[in-house]
Amino acid sequence: MGEPGLAGLSFCIADGKAVFLDIARDRYFALPADFSRFATGRIPHLAADSDEIVAVVETLLPSSIAARHPSLCTPPPAVTHEIVDRASRTSPWLCLPALLGRILFYKLLLRTVGLDRTLRRLSPRGASVDCGERYSSEHLVTVGAAISMLKRYMPLADQCLPVALAVADYLRRRGWAPQLVLGVMARPFRAHSWVQLDTMLLTDRIEAVRNFTPILVL
């Protein structure tokens, strides 16, 4: 993504609407009208230049918000594989306790200090490694097995962000470079979070994220 700074505004064009994530204020909001009406005849999320989209968006926002320089999210590669498919016969116990602890930690952190300060606690991404080497890593598959077990036995249906933060942080601390993705739908509004490594989805099924537009990628 373009760098909005974690205290800034990140936005995307989802279902024809300009949807914003205000990281500092821990909230989503959207422009009241269909954004395509203001995109000079172009398809805004496919054909328009990103600078043009930002310029149009800034003219439609109140000046106090536009002054914070909203940044258009650059989406990650489309996911094509799921780690869960490789993890079904793998024992999760190598990393399950650590991941469970990380999930509970981030759940508490989000509740007490908010999104901005929580994201700042996230470890930086590790160095990139050969894609094939990462996908064949036994430890990575163990992470997938642990997440599958936790989702099976814990009420995590509405805890996608703590789960994604926990997995991203766990892997980054071990030198990997996963991307944490926050996505939205606009009609009706929904938000979701997941972790991916290149085109490999680590925390979900592809059908669960396919219809979400990335609004923040870290």
Q: Are 36 and 57 in contact (CB under 8 A)?
A: no
pLDDT of residue 87: 59
Q: Which residue has the higher pLDDT, 2 or 54?
A: 54
Rounded to 5 degrees, φ, ψ at 182 are: -110, 130
pLDDT, average across residues 86-100: 77
CA distances from 129 to 47, 137, 179, 201 (A): 32, 11, 14, 16
**pLDDT tens by residue, 151-168:** 888 777 689 999 999 999
Q: What is the pTM of this model?
A: 0.87
Give the pLDDT of residue 38.
Answer: 63
* Cα maximum dimension of the chain: 55
Question: What is the percentage of the chain residues whose pLDDT exceeds 90?
Answer: 51
For 103, 114, 135, 163, the CA distances from 150, given in Å and listed in that order, are 10, 24, 21, 10
Confidence of residue 143 (pLDDT cuts 50, 70, 90): confident
Residue 4 has pLDDT above 50, yes or no: no
Q: What is the pLDDT of residues 14-50, one digit of tens each?
A: 988 899 999 999 999 998 877 766 655 444 444 467 8
Euclidean distance between CA atoms 10 and 72, whole angstroms: 6
- Mean pLDDT within 105-125: 93
Mean pLDDT within 1-16: 71
Q: Where are the domains of the chain?
A: 9-72, 81-217
Task: Count CB neighbours of 147 within 10 A.
Answer: 27
What pLDDT is stored for residue 162 in this prediction? Answer: 95
Cβ-in-10-Å burial (0-12, 13-18, 19+) of 73 comes to: buried
Q: Angle at the Cα of 135 (from 134 to 141), degrees rounded to 5?
A: 105
- Show the tokens assigned to 99: 């991941």
| Alpha-carbon span 61 to 25, nearest angstrom | 16
- Read off the pLDDT of residues 40-92 as tens digits, 9 standing for 90 and up: 544 444 446 788 888 888 888 899 898 888 999 999 999 998 887 665 666 77
What number of other Cβ atoms are within 10 A of residue 144's Cβ?
24
Q: What is the rounded average pLDDT of the residues 198-213? A: 94
Q: How confident is the model at residue 1 (pLDDT cuts 50, 70, 90)?
A: very low
pLDDT at 43 (0 to 100): 46
- What are the b/e assignments for 203-218, b being 16+ CB within 10 Å? bbeeeebeebbbbbbb
Helix, coil or strand: residue 44? coil
Q: Is 99's pLDDT higher than 60?
A: yes
With residues binned 3-state (H G I as helix, E B as strand, rest as coil), the percentages for the chain, rounded to 5, are 40, 20, 40
pLDDT of 115 > 50? The answer is yes
Comparison of pLDDT for 145 and 72, the residue scoring more: 72
Identify each DSSP E strand in 46-157 by its residue range. 71-72, 81-82
Least confident of 20-29, 127-136, 194-203, 205-214: 127-136
Whether residue 148 contacts residue 95, with contact meaning beta carbons closer than 8 Å, is answered with no
